[in-house]
Amino acid sequence: MQRTKIAELLRTERVGTEVLVKGWVKAFRNNQFIALNDGSTPNNLQIVVDFEHMDAALLDRIKYGAAIGARGTLIESQGKGQKVEVKAAEIIVYGDCNPEEFPLQPKKQSLEFLREHAHLRFRTNTFAAIFRTRHALAYAIHKFFNDRGFYYQHTPIITASDAEGAGEMFRVTTLPLDGAPRTEAGEIDFSLDFFKRSTHLTVSGQLEAELAALALGEVYTFGPTFRAENSNTTRHLAEFWMVEPEVAFNDLNDNMNLAEDMLQYVIQYALEHCADDLKILEDRLTEEEKSKPQDQRSEMTLTEKLRFVIDNEFIRLTYTEAIDILKNSAPNKKGKFQYPVEGWGTDLQSEHERYLVEKHFKKPVILTNYPAEIKAFYMRQDEPKEGVPGATVSAMDILFPGIGEIVGGSQREERYDRLVRRMGEMHIPTEELYWYLDTRRFGSCPHAGFGLGFERLVLFVTGMTNIRDVIAFPRYPGNAEF
């Protein structure tokens, strides 16, 4: 007999038919009612067993966490809380689960505890909801780009260019750690390494995506990226997934429109397709908020926050305007910022970004035209502008409530001479990046793109507060378990 998934059964409610379901026991009440979940939906299916006519030894194996199958008739439920249930004719135990040894308990367990048991946390309602939602968001991203004619490109994970400066890199090598071969000058002899040169894990697929965009027009990447930055925060991972669209003939404004459309589209998609999971996550968040002092609680529920992002246009303003607001803000004047905002030119800290989004505008914000000094070499140089004290580039960062930066992007410098001059100023080796510069020598054109940190998006949509809870097996300083 064919197994039916619980999601399908609950949707079609084919009362009177014989069914076989398989899943994990979520609860077993009164030796009679099993709550069964198979992952296809957050909703459990109730299995009613006739305990008086069932083998006592088998009955005893129906424990929280055990994998079982149930064959029986789908009937209208007598009880409250569900429309249909299965009247079991047969129970099969596939895998026992000894409650004395199983680390998970059928009660609320802390996120910290579950992080230490990340191999089992999929089994909890919260994490099952997170990972179903994560899938839906990934699919929505592909759908968004595919439906607009973008081509999905796979850029290398091992890279020889360490020039980009997006972050500290992890080295990739086959050379022995002790006694690595040395050159006569005493340096490590990478000519004996696998690739005959020094290589690293990529921090971004952007440079390669640009090459593709200058032929295919509209492309995007969606892959793992790695940063060995020692930032032990709730928003940084050492291994994270980045979505990087790159579009020929787009300028900064087109780039912002694309990013805003994409974010609103995927959030709308989640609201439409993950309602049951978002309900679980919303209830979790509401519960968590209750433990906070009144004045720190969010005024909005999770779905209200998501709707809010869809229903409101993002505020767009320049870095220079933002600095003005921050300089004159109450927390800055009262010395409440950990990093006081002194003047034009400094990089914005997360506390500043969050002030702008959560307190000042109360909307997602796109900041543009940052000082060239604090941005990457490939960003397009702006013309000098009245009232702007220094050189700026056509950069844009999108800031979200509770997250800070979720997207970072720019129009790229397409003018060969300008690009080479900037690389010189920033000590970026032009010989190593000859292939990148070639795009500016042969048929260069204006183009723009951005990077969306996928886990930061998942963080926002699920209402979780620690990025380590939205990727199954997080990598961060001191942790590469599982």
Rounded to 5 degrees, φ, ψ at 139 are: -65, -45
Task: Out of 19, 406, 433, 448, name the contact with ligand ATP by CB under 6 A.
Answer: 406
Q: Which residue is nearest to ligand ATP (CB)?
A: 453
Residues from 232 through 251 that contact ligand ATP (CB under 6 A): 236-237, 240, 242
Question: In the complex with ligand ATP, which residue's Cβ is closer, 28 or 241?
Answer: 241
Q: How far is the CB of 153 from ligand ATP (least distance, A)?
A: 17
Which of residues 237 and 267 has its CB atom nearest to ligand ATP in the complex?
237
Strands in 239-248's sheet, in edge-to-edge order, are 151-152, 218-226, 239-248, 447-453, 404-411, 392-400, 365-371, 315-318
Please report, as a single letter, which amino acid is at residue 37. N
Q: How far is CA 385 from CA 263, 369, 374, 411, 461, in A?
A: 30, 11, 18, 17, 38
The count of residues interacting with ligand ATP (CB under 6 A) is 16
Q: Is 423 helix (H, G, I), strand (E, B) or coil?
A: helix
- Closest distance to ligand ATP from the beta carbon of 439 (Å): 21
Q: Which is nearer to ligand ATP, 229 or 438 (CB)?
A: 229
From 72, 371, 401, 451, residue interacting with ligand ATP (rule: CB under 6 A): 451
The piece of 9-17, 73-81, 354-362, 448-456 that touches ligand ATP (CB under 6 A) is: 448-456
The nearer residue to ligand ATP, 74 or 372, going by C-beta atoms, is 372
Q: Using an 8 Å Cβ cutoff, are 62 and 103 in contact? A: no
- Closest Cα partner for 66 from 10, 100, 25, 36? 25
What are the C-alpha distances in Å from 433 to residues 236, 284, 439? 28, 48, 11
Vertex 327: Cα angle to 324 and 330 (nearest 5): 120
Per CB under 6 A, 456 contacts ligand ATP: yes
CA gap 116, 122 in Å, rounded: 12
Please, which of residues 131-190 interact with ligand ATP by CB under 6 A?
166-167
Least distance to ligand ATP from the beta carbon of 229, Å? 6
Residues 25-44 that bind ligand ATP (CB under 6 A): none
**Residue of 227, 354, 375, 447 interacting with ligand ATP (CB under 6 A):** 227
**Closer residue to ligand ATP (CB): 62 or 118:** 118
Please state the separation of Cα 99 from the chain's center in Å.
33
Indicate the residue among 37 and 133 with the shorter CB distance to ligand ATP: 133
Nearer Cβ to ligand ATP (91/262): 262
Alpha carbon 245 to its chain's center:
16
Binding segment toward ligand ATP, per CB under 6 A, in 101-109, 306-314, 402-410, 414-422: 402-410
* CA dist., res. 150 & res. 144, Å (int): 9
- Applying CB under 6 A, does 453 fall inside the site for ligand ATP? yes
